[in-house]
Protein backbone atom coordinates (compact mmCIF):
# COMPACT_ATOMS: atom_id res chain seq x y z
CA UNK A 1 0.00 0.00 0.00
CA UNK A 2 1.34 3.42 -0.91
CA UNK A 3 2.05 5.88 1.91
CA UNK A 4 -0.76 8.19 0.76
CA UNK A 5 -3.22 5.26 0.68
CA UNK A 6 -2.22 4.23 4.20
CA UNK A 7 -2.77 7.76 5.53
CA UNK A 8 -6.17 7.92 3.81
CA UNK A 9 -7.13 4.51 5.26
CA UNK A 10 -6.11 5.63 8.76
CA UNK A 11 -8.10 8.87 8.45
CA UNK A 12 -11.15 6.92 7.25
CA UNK A 13 -10.85 4.50 10.20
CA UNK A 14 -10.55 7.38 12.67
CA UNK A 15 -13.63 9.05 11.24
CA UNK A 16 -15.64 5.82 11.22
CA UNK A 17 -14.70 4.15 14.53
CA UNK A 18 -12.53 6.73 16.30
CA UNK A 19 -9.18 4.98 15.91
CA UNK A 20 -6.94 3.20 13.43
CA UNK A 21 -4.56 0.25 13.89
CA UNK A 22 -1.79 0.20 11.30
CA UNK A 23 0.20 -3.05 11.36
CA UNK A 24 3.74 -2.65 10.04
CA UNK A 25 5.82 -5.43 8.55
CA UNK A 26 9.48 -4.70 9.18
CA UNK A 27 12.38 -5.52 6.95
CA UNK A 28 14.58 -8.52 7.72
CA UNK A 29 16.68 -6.62 10.29
CA UNK A 30 13.78 -5.62 12.55
CA UNK A 31 10.56 -6.98 14.04
CA UNK A 32 6.95 -6.25 13.06
CA UNK A 33 4.77 -3.95 15.13
CA UNK A 34 1.34 -2.40 15.32
CA UNK A 35 -0.03 0.62 17.15
CA UNK A 36 -3.16 2.64 17.57
CA UNK A 37 -3.89 6.14 16.32
CA UNK A 38 -6.88 7.96 17.77
CA UNK A 39 -7.59 6.26 21.11
CA UNK A 40 -6.34 9.33 22.96
CA UNK A 41 -8.13 11.77 20.70
CA UNK A 42 -11.48 9.94 20.72
CA UNK A 43 -11.59 8.03 24.01
CA UNK A 44 -9.07 9.93 26.20
CA UNK A 45 -7.09 6.69 26.53
CA UNK A 46 -3.35 6.28 25.95
CA UNK A 47 -2.40 4.96 22.52
CA UNK A 48 -1.14 1.36 22.41
CA UNK A 49 1.85 -0.22 20.67
CA UNK A 50 2.69 -3.91 20.39
CA UNK A 51 6.10 -4.94 19.04
CA UNK A 52 7.52 -8.29 17.99
CA UNK A 53 4.52 -10.37 16.98
CA UNK A 54 3.77 -10.85 13.28
CA UNK A 55 2.04 -7.71 12.02
CA UNK A 56 -1.37 -9.35 11.37
CA UNK A 57 -1.43 -10.91 14.86
CA UNK A 58 -0.22 -7.68 16.51
CA UNK A 59 -2.96 -5.78 14.68
CA UNK A 60 -5.60 -8.32 15.76
CA UNK A 61 -4.52 -8.07 19.40
CA UNK A 62 -4.71 -4.27 19.29
CA UNK A 63 -8.11 -4.35 17.54
CA UNK A 64 -9.34 -6.54 20.41
CA UNK A 65 -7.89 -4.17 23.03
CA UNK A 66 -9.36 -1.16 21.21
CA UNK A 67 -12.81 -2.72 21.34
CA UNK A 68 -12.37 -3.11 25.08
CA UNK A 69 -11.48 0.60 25.32
CA UNK A 70 -14.59 1.45 23.28
CA UNK A 71 -16.57 -0.65 25.79
CA UNK A 72 -15.14 1.38 28.70
CA UNK A 73 -12.10 -0.63 29.81
CA UNK A 74 -9.11 1.50 30.81
CA UNK A 75 -5.64 0.00 30.57
CA UNK A 76 -2.93 1.43 32.81
CA UNK A 77 0.77 0.80 33.42
CA UNK A 78 1.31 -2.56 35.13
CA UNK A 79 -2.22 -3.81 34.36
CA UNK A 80 -2.53 -7.21 32.71
CA UNK A 81 -4.90 -9.00 30.36
CA UNK A 82 -4.87 -11.76 27.81
CA UNK A 83 -5.67 -12.53 24.20
CA UNK A 84 -6.16 -16.25 23.72
CA UNK A 85 -3.00 -17.88 25.07
CA UNK A 86 -1.06 -14.59 25.06
CA UNK A 87 -0.42 -12.97 28.45
CA UNK A 88 -0.16 -9.19 28.13
CA UNK A 89 1.08 -6.36 30.38
CA UNK A 90 1.24 -2.61 29.87
CA UNK A 91 4.11 -0.16 30.40
CA UNK A 92 4.35 3.58 29.78
CA UNK A 93 6.37 4.43 26.67
CA UNK A 94 9.20 6.86 27.31
CA UNK A 95 8.74 10.36 25.88
CA UNK A 96 11.87 10.16 23.74
CA UNK A 97 10.41 7.19 21.85
CA UNK A 98 7.05 8.94 21.48
CA UNK A 99 8.54 12.11 20.05
CA UNK A 100 11.61 11.03 18.08
CA UNK A 101 11.50 7.36 17.11
CA UNK A 102 10.27 5.81 13.89
CA UNK A 103 7.81 3.62 15.80
CA UNK A 104 5.09 6.31 15.60
CA UNK A 105 6.06 8.15 12.39
CA UNK A 106 2.76 7.71 10.60
CA UNK A 107 0.77 8.54 13.73
CA UNK A 108 2.76 11.72 14.40
CA UNK A 109 2.25 12.78 10.78
CA UNK A 110 -1.47 12.11 10.98
CA UNK A 111 -2.02 13.91 14.31
CA UNK A 112 0.05 16.88 13.12
CA UNK A 113 -2.76 17.49 10.62
CA UNK A 114 -4.96 18.21 13.65
CA UNK A 115 -2.25 20.30 15.32
CA UNK A 116 -1.59 17.60 17.91
CA UNK A 117 1.62 16.00 19.17
CA UNK A 118 1.94 12.27 19.77
CA UNK A 119 0.08 11.52 23.05
CA UNK A 120 0.82 9.29 26.05
CA UNK A 121 1.28 5.69 24.95
CA UNK A 122 1.37 2.27 26.58
CA UNK A 123 3.49 -0.56 25.25
CA UNK A 124 1.61 -3.86 25.26
CA UNK A 125 4.16 -6.46 26.32
CA UNK A 126 3.69 -10.15 25.60
CA UNK A 127 5.16 -12.95 27.67
CA UNK A 128 7.39 -15.58 26.08
CA UNK A 129 6.84 -19.33 26.54
CA UNK A 130 8.47 -19.18 29.97
CA UNK A 131 6.13 -16.39 31.08
CA UNK A 132 8.94 -13.79 31.02
CA UNK A 133 8.57 -10.19 29.80
CA UNK A 134 11.28 -7.71 28.81
CA UNK A 135 12.44 -5.92 31.95
CA UNK A 136 14.81 -3.15 30.86
CA UNK A 137 15.45 -1.23 27.64
CA UNK A 138 18.37 -2.54 25.60
CA UNK A 139 18.24 -6.06 27.05
CA UNK A 140 20.04 -8.10 24.35
CA UNK A 141 17.87 -11.18 24.93
CA UNK A 142 14.75 -9.18 23.92
CA UNK A 143 16.16 -6.52 21.56
CA UNK A 144 15.37 -8.36 18.33
CA UNK A 145 12.14 -9.96 19.58
CA UNK A 146 10.40 -7.21 21.57
CA UNK A 147 12.38 -4.03 22.21
CA UNK A 148 11.24 -2.28 25.38
CA UNK A 149 10.25 1.36 24.83
CA UNK A 150 9.07 1.83 28.38
CA UNK A 151 10.20 4.33 30.98
CA UNK A 152 12.68 2.92 33.45
d(CA 59, CA 32) in angstroms, rounded, equals 10
pLDDT at 68: 97
**If you average pLDDT over residues 112-130, what whole number do you get?**
93
Average pLDDT over residues 91-109: 89
Among 21, 33, 51, 40, smallest CA distance to 125 is for: 51
pTM assigned to the model: 0.92
The residue ranges of DSSP E strands in 59-145, in sequence order, are 80-83, 86-92, 121-126
What per-residue confidence (pLDDT) applies to 3?
Answer: 55
> Per-residue pLDDT tens for 1-57?
455 588 888 889 999 999 999 999 987 668 899 999 999 999 999 999 999 999 999
Q: Where are the beta strands (DSSP E) in the chain?
A: 23-24, 33-35, 47-51, 80-83, 86-92, 121-126
Specify the pLDDT at position 35: 96
So what's the pLDDT on residue 138? 82
Q: What is the mean pLDDT of residues 126-132?
A: 93
Share of the chain above pLDDT 90, in %: 66
Q: Indicate whether 82 pLDDT > 80.
A: yes
**Cα distance between residue 64 and residue 99, in whole Å:** 26
* Nearest-angstrom CA–CA distance, 75 and 44: 11
pLDDT given for residue 114 in this prediction: 87
Cα–Cα distance between 47 and 33 in angstroms, integer?
Answer: 14
**Mean pLDDT, the chain, integer:** 90
Pairing mode of beta strands 47-51, 121-126: parallel
Contact 77, 122 (CB under 8 A): yes
pLDDT of residue 151: 74
Higher pLDDT, 8 or 125: 125
**Which of 44, 43, 40, 37 shows the shortest CA–CA distance to 19?**
37
Residues 14, 17, 19, 25, CA torsion sign: negative
Amino acid sequence: MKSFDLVAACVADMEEVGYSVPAIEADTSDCDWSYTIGLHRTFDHPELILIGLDAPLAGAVLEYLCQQVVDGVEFAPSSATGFGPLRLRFRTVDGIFRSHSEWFGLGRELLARYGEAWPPTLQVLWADRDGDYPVRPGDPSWMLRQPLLAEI
